[in-house]
Every structure is written in structure tokens, then in C-alpha cells.
Amino acid sequence: MQPLLTIQGPEAALFWILAPLSVAAALGMLLVKKAVHSALLLAWVMITLAIFYIAQDAAFLGVVQVIVYTGAVMMLFLFILMLVGVDSSDSLTETITGLRPIAITAAVGLGGLLVSLLGRATLGREPIGLEIANSSGNVEGLAALLFSKYVWPFEVVSALLITAALGAMVLAHHQRTNPRPTQREQAISRFRSGSLAGAAGLPGPGVFARHNAVDVPALLPDGTPAPSSISATLKARGDVIDSSQFQLDNVDTTVVEEK
């Protein structure tokens, strides 16, 4: 029996460089604390898998893998940012006692099962049929199968996915109780509301007197500070400088003539 799964030359080099990196990234994905780092490592695993696919003459699968999974991981990334928080990291306390040993046992079991199954399927056998499958070109071969023999499952899966996407939209959608005011309506209401102070837009922060920092309220023409010129976020944080020191009455305006 000749040595199994012989890969020579460049492909072997590719495999022995990328495979350890891929496995390391997969382990890192589980072990790093920050959720964003996890997502990044996941993207790297997907890309290395795509490179392996391309190296094994499945060019279409490889490229589609990159297109689909980079988009998917990007979504994951956005979920992390929007639902979990920008710099969230996992807390390592066990919320349910005994969860960790159970999880590790289950993971090792599943891994062992997969390895043994794949080993049985591949070890000691010569891979055959690749030349026949790719005889009319990789893409053409796939297309011929997808649109003849497997056209029904293909369509069913696509219908399922569309239903899922529509369902997500229906669940996330909410009806406005009143229509959104247009820019024109907003402009009219600015002029017709109680005060004309905001009609020309709010004053910018800190553009008068001696400071031009964003945390200094603007001074109105009569010398009073305009609290509406400061961003609400800064106010909520308490990062606002007391503007009384810049008020016109308090500014020393005496002129000392030089002799």
C-alpha cells in the first residue's frame, strides 16, 4: 500500500504552513477574552479553509466560502458591537456549577466522533472521481448538478432562507404610530413654535470669547451662556466647563494705557 493522501511540493508546503495557523486560530477563538478578537480569528479560520478548498481544485467552493463567510462574520462583528458592547470581554465565572466539565466532555466527545468518522472515510482509501467531476470545469460541473439532479432541494433551501429573512424582517419591523416629519415640516415647526431662538439652528459651542473647545458653552450676543450649544452627551458625562468665567460681565475689560 502506498503512502496515503500524498501531497507534494507547493501544496504540502501550503498545508503545513496554514494548517497549524488555522488550528491555532480555531483554539484561540475559544480562548481569547474579547468577543471581537474571537470573531476575527473565526474569519481567519474561514479564509484558511477557503485556501485549502482552492488548493484541492474546488475553486468555486473556496471563493464562495470567502464571500459568504466574510459577510457572515462581519454580521457577527456588528452584533457584538451593537448587542454586547464595543469593548466587551467574557467574564470567566461559571454561572451554572459543573457546566465547564460537561461542556469540555461533550466537546471532546464530538471532536473524537468527527475525527474517527472522517478517518474511516478517508484513511486507507484513494480519493477518486475528482477528474471526472471537474472534467467540464469546476463551476460547470457544480452548475450541472445543482440545476438538474439537485434542483428541487436547491429551490427548497432557497425558499426556506427567503422565508427566514422575511420572518426576521417582520419580527424586527415596527410600525410608526405617526408619520416621520419631513425636513420641510421640521423647518415650518421651528418657525411656528414658541421661540424663534432655534429657528436658525442651535448655536455652536465655544466659538466666542477666549475658548473654542466643545465643552465651553457659547455666549449669546447679550453675554449670557447658551446651554443648548453643548452636546447632550458631554452634559450627561458632566464634562462641561463652567462658562461664568467667560461671561462678558466678568471679563476684565479695563484698558491700561502704556506710557
Partner 1 sequence: MKNASLLLDDPGWIITLKALIVFVVCVVLTIMSVWGERRIVARMQMRVGPNRVGKFGLIQALADGVKLALKEDLIPAAADKVVFIIAPIISATAAFMAFAVMPLTGPVNFFGEETVMQLTDLPVGVLYVLAIASVGVYGIVLAGWSSGSTYPLLGGLRSSAQVISYEIAMGLSLVAVFIYSGSMSTSAIVQAQQETWWYGLVLFPSFVIYAISMVGETNRAPFDLAEAEGELVGGFHTEYSSLKFALFFLAEYVNIIAVSALATTLFLGGYHAIPGLGFTEQWLGGWFTLIWFFIKVLFFFFIFVWLRGTLPRLRYDQFMQFGWKVLIPVSLLWILVVATLRVISTTSQSRVVTFGFAGVVVLIVLGISTAFENSQNKRTSVVHPEPAAPDFAVPSLPSQITTINVSQQGGDRG
Interacting residues toward partner 1 by CB under 8 A: 34, 36-37, 40, 43, 47, 50, 59-60, 63-64, 66-67, 70-71, 74, 77-78, 81, 86-87, 137-139, 185, 188-189, 191-194, 196
The three grid cell numbers given for residue 143, joined into one nine-digit string: 452548475
Query: Closer to partner 1 at the Cβ: 190 or 248?
Result: 190
Minimum Å distance from CB 153 to partner 1?
Answer: 21
Minimum Å distance from CB 259 to partner 1?
Answer: 45
Minimum Å distance from CB 156 to partner 1?
Answer: 21
Query: Closer to partner 1 at the Cβ: 127 or 194?
Result: 194
Non-local (6+) Cβ contacts of 206 within 8 A are 212, 213, 214, 215, 216, 217, 218, 229
Query: Closer to partner 1 at the Cβ: 73 or 219?
Result: 73
Query: Closer to partner 1 at the Cβ: 14 or 248?
Result: 14
What would the DSSP string read from start to end of 130-189? HHHHTTT-HHHHHHHIIIIITHHHHHHHHHHHHHHHHHHHHHH----SSPPPPHHHHHHH
Minimum Å distance from CB 129 to partner 1?
Answer: 19
What would the DSSP string read from start to end of 89-134? B-----SSTTHHHHHHHHHHHHHHHHHHHHHHHHTT-----HHHHT
Minimum Å distance from CB 255 to partner 1?
Answer: 36
Q: What is the C-alpha to C-alpha distance for residues 84 and 87, in angstroms, rounded to an integer? A: 8
Query: Closer to partner 1 at the Cβ: 4 or 72?
Result: 72
